């Protein structure tokens, strides 16, 4: 018997990973991606032990990082712009021993391309230039319609299409709910990747957070030689959700603007900004939570940012998307080639998935928004000093931080 076809919408983080897990379970996943040719995307992200455990079921960091040498995170540092330490700990150096995997920063382009290539190598079809525009559900099948005029039918559909998911919009519309665009959090980021300045190499394998007046800067290594950084600023006016790559002229203007915003910050940070080859700017968005029963219909289910889009301040969006992949594939029946695994009634499986995943991801989306608001304080030096004092209390209790890490990184198995 031919394996059931699963329509996977989106080839970002969750699309290829879920496809690889489902292929191992006897399904025939096929990926449909809106972008014509996947290429340069975003700056970077931090893969944490919970997400790394899922990736490790499919590949090794060596393969994932391509020709770049991955650098496991060893330290967390929080301080003032001028470099005064507020809190420092070395908890990440124990992640591998405690959770089985380390945290590692990776360029988003490297991750996306590696995952797509892994899917292709496993014989999974990846169709680019296919933008989902509509879904029709039958009793035992589902048809996806694409902007290029093509339609495909499969057993079920998984929406892995991110924060602006068409799958989410269609599912909600079909149940009578109209949702607006993603919600601007009031914060923007300008991000880049630079050669690690020598002064920062003195704090190797460290994720660092510098807190200033109306500005926050985060930086972490994405290899032994390069560092990824992002400056977060408060912005009352909504910015379009643009991941615009700066032109040469814009690049210079942006660097000058950032240098002004980072006045008084450590010289190494100004060097980091000055030497970046590429800089992107974007607004930070999330969405109000959906209830678990809005995550699925009879033949469709949402995962990753399509289900629970988040601002990035907890570094958990992709890691939670990876947890989703693990749990959804675990809950779906193993197929042996001679049976269809009784896929007639998928709703109970989707319901169990949503019941398990919605509370955890919803709490993290809210936590990420709160963390962003705490980081960027706009009220002047006195409020900033109060924020710094709170940070020392909140982040200085290593046992409490360890408990929080355990809750995050002991999952999904």
Ligand X SMILES: Cc1cc2nc3c(=O)[nH]c(=O)nc-3n(C[C@H](O)[C@H](O)[C@H](O)COP(=O)(O)OP(=O)(O)OC[C@H]3O[C@@H](n4cnc5c(N)ncnc54)[C@H](O)[C@@H]3O)c2cc1C
Residues at the contact surface with ligand X, assessed by CB under 6 A: 9-15, 32-35, 45-46, 131-132, 160-162, 164, 166, 189, 304-306, 312, 315-319, 321
Whole-number minimum distance, CB 62 to ligand X, in Å? 20
How many residues belong to the chain? 413
Whole-number minimum distance, CB 135 to ligand X, in Å? 11
Whole-number minimum distance, CB 147 to ligand X, in Å? 8
Q: Which is nearer to ligand X, 171 or 384 (CB)?
A: 171
Whole-number minimum distance, CB 17 to ligand X, in Å? 8
Whole-number minimum distance, CB 340 to ligand X, in Å? 26
For residue 84, is it left (φ>0), alpha (ψ between -120 and 50) or beta? beta
Q: Which is nearer to ligand X, 12 or 26 (CB)?
A: 12
Burial class (CB in 10 A: 0-12, 13-18, 19+), 175: exposed
The CB-nearest residue to ligand X is: 12
Q: Which is nearer to ligand X, 200 or 284 (CB)?
A: 284
- DSSP at 101: S
Range 325-362 burial, b when 16+ CB lie within 10 A, else e: bbbbbeebeebeeeeebebeebeebbbebbebbbebbb
Q: Which is nearer to ligand X, 83 or 143 (CB)?
A: 143
Q: Which is nearer to ligand X, 32 or 296 (CB)?
A: 32
Instruction: Round to whole Å and give the CA distance between 42 and 208.
Output: 20
What DSSP assignment string belongs to 300-339? EEE-GGGTS---STTS-HHHHHHHHHHHHHHHSPP--SS-
H or E element at residue 44? strand 44-47
Whole-number minimum distance, CB 287 to ligand X, in Å? 12
Instruction: Round to whole Å and give the CA distance between 196 and 204.
Output: 10
């Amino acid at each position: 018997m031919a394996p059931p076809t699963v329509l996977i919408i989106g080839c970002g983080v969750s699309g290829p990973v879920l496809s690889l897990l489902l292929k191992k379970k006897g399904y025939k996943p096929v990926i449909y991606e809106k972008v014509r040719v996947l290429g340069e995307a975003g700056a970077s992200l931090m893969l944490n032990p919970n997400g790394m455990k899922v990736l490790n079921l499919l590949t090794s960091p060596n393969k994932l990082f391509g020709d770049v040498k991955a650098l496991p995170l060893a330290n967390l540092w929080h301080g003032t712009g001028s470099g005064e330490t507020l809190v420092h700990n070395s908890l990440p150096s124990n992640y591998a021993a405690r959770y089985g995997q380390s945290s590692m920063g990776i360029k988003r382009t490297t991750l996306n391309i590696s995952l797509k290539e892994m899917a292709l190598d496993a014989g999974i079809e990846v169709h680019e230039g296919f933008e989902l525009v509509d879904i029709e559900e039958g009793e035992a099948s589902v048809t996806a319609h694409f902007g290029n005029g093509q339609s495909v039918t499969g057993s079920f559909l998984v929406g892995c299409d991110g924060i602006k998911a068409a799958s989410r919009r269609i599912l909600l519309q079909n149940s009578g709910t109209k949702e607006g665009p993603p919600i601007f959090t009031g914060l923007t980021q300008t991000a880049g990747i630079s050669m690690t300045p020598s002064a920062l190499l003195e704090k190797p394998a460290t994720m660092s957070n510098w807190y200033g007046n109306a500005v926050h800067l985060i930086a972490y290594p994405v290899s032994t030689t390069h560092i990824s950084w992002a400056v977060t600023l408060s912005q009352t006016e909504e910015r379009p959700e643009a991941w615009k790559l700066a032109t040469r002229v814009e690049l210079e203007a942006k660097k000058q603007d950032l240098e002004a915003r980072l006045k008084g910050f450590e010289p190494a940070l100004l060097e980091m900004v000055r030497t970046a080859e590429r800089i992107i700017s974007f607004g930070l968005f999330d969405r109000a939570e959906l209830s678990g029963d809005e995550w699925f219909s009879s033949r469709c289910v949402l995962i990753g940012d399509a289900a629970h889009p988040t601002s990035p301040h907890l570094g958990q969006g992709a890691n939670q998307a990876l947890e989703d992949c693990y749990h959804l594939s675990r809950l779906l029946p193993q197929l042996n080639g001679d049976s269809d695994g009784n896929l007639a009634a998928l709703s109970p499986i989707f319901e169990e998935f949503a019941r398990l995943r919605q509370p955890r991801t919803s709490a993290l989306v809210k936590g990420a928004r709160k963390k962003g608001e705490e980081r960027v304080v706009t009220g002047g030096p006195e409020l900033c000093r109060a924020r710094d004092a709170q940070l020392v209390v909140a982040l200085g209790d290593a046992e409490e931080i360890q408990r929080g890490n355990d809750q995050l990184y002991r999952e999904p198995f």
